[in-house]
A and B are shown apart, each in its own frame.
Chain A
């Protein structure tokens, strides 16, 4: 039950894109087609869960143990960059079909602030190991969920009569505003 409430909290209530503002660049940049949105979303979910797990372990057993907490940001960004590289090599070798689907999105994830943001959040001291894993996984699913819906909306927008100046990013942001209002209503659920 506890796990379920963490999951819902991460997916809907504290949605990474619409209430935490993480990963706005891929949200606006990679949401033009359904396929690329799903690919990006899956890649983010995968890397985010792995990165948050590794960061949590490193933080607790290396940084805190050796009194190196001030190195947090540098260590995390290196962890994410190398993790992305390792995952890329790994799936290239063992699952070429998955690599074809996710390959081009993986390098972009290093500079996705959602991943570093989640690693920073789960190491703030209030997260247990299990909660860190569930929460980062849920956040990834939340990212996938929103970017998928958004890509469908943007395909509809292509054919809509929009004032010329508002085409593209501006109307996408205004649509995101409406979605954020809906997501904000979930705050009363948990």
Chain B
């Protein structure tokens, strides 16, 4: 039933067109809270991807068995199960990441995005499209988390760290061993999170509005051209008729 191109669109729609953070503006709590460092953002992205993927698969498998009156509680229990699995795995194998993400790992349960995908997509589609949908959404989500976290980490301390190794140190580029005064811990504080996210949303909305305006202008232009063409054709016809009458 599902061919290759439709599977591909299920994946790519999560990246920009239906990006869970930028477009639906859901699940903002972890987006604001854990984006203090790129490492946290990637860790959260992996945990989120696992939960979304597994819950989408299971929900899609049982979609014909579950009575629709109790589907939401069933989905929540499924999601909570996978969240508990992630929580335990992380505490066992990545204890430092688990500490810094803290309560936001169990809070994936009430993340509107996961429940939203289960309800809006996996409960109506087959397993394969649901997998692609989950992967696309997870990549889109992680991308935006990583973007916000990178901005906050760089502006906050001038450095960027992944898995314990320094990737980028702007302070060193300027020959200084200490954090330069232009970088302020404001961006790592809660207030900085709201500011960065607000500006990102504002820029995205501005781009969208200007694009829509351009689209409308183009449409208007095309319509005018069409009208002009029609008018010309009519005139030509008239001319031909007149000519015919004259002869």
Q: List 15 A-B contacts (CB under 8 A).
A: A23-B29, A25-B26, A70-B84, A74-B77, A74-B84, A81-B76, A110-B110, A116-B107, A120-B107, A163-B202, A172-B198, A173-B194, A174-B199, A178-B191, A180-B191
A111 near B201 (CB under 8 angstroms)? no
For the residues of A in contact with B, the DSSP-based class is helix
Residues of A near B84 (CB, < 8 A) are 70-74
With A73-B83, A77-B76 as contacts: A28 and B191 at CB distance below 8 Å: no
Cβ 8 A contact of B201, one of A110, A112, A173, A180: A173
A165 near B205 (CB under 8 angstroms)? yes
Question: CA–CA, A74 to B209, complex, Å?
Answer: 42
A20 near B191 (CB under 8 angstroms)? no
Given contacts A73-B83, A78-B77, A169-B201, 12 further A-B contacts (CB under 8 A): A21-B32, A25-B26, A28-B25, A73-B87, A81-B73, A111-B115, A113-B107, A116-B106, A165-B205, A170-B202, A174-B194, A180-B194
Interface status of B144 (Cβ within 8 A of chain A): no
- One digit per residue, 1 when the CB lies within 8 angstroms of any chain A CB and 0 when it does not, for chain B 46-74 equals 00000000000000000000000000010
Interface status of B101 (Cβ within 8 A of chain A): no
The 8 closest A-B pairs by CB, nearest first: A165-B206, A173-B198, A170-B202, A177-B194, A180-B191, A21-B33, A174-B198, A177-B195
Residues of A near B190 (CB, < 8 A) are 18-19, 21, 180, 183-184
Question: CA–CA, A138 to B85, complex, Å?
Answer: 32
Question: CA–CA, A70 to B91, complex, Å?
Answer: 11
Interface status of B192 (Cβ within 8 A of chain A): yes
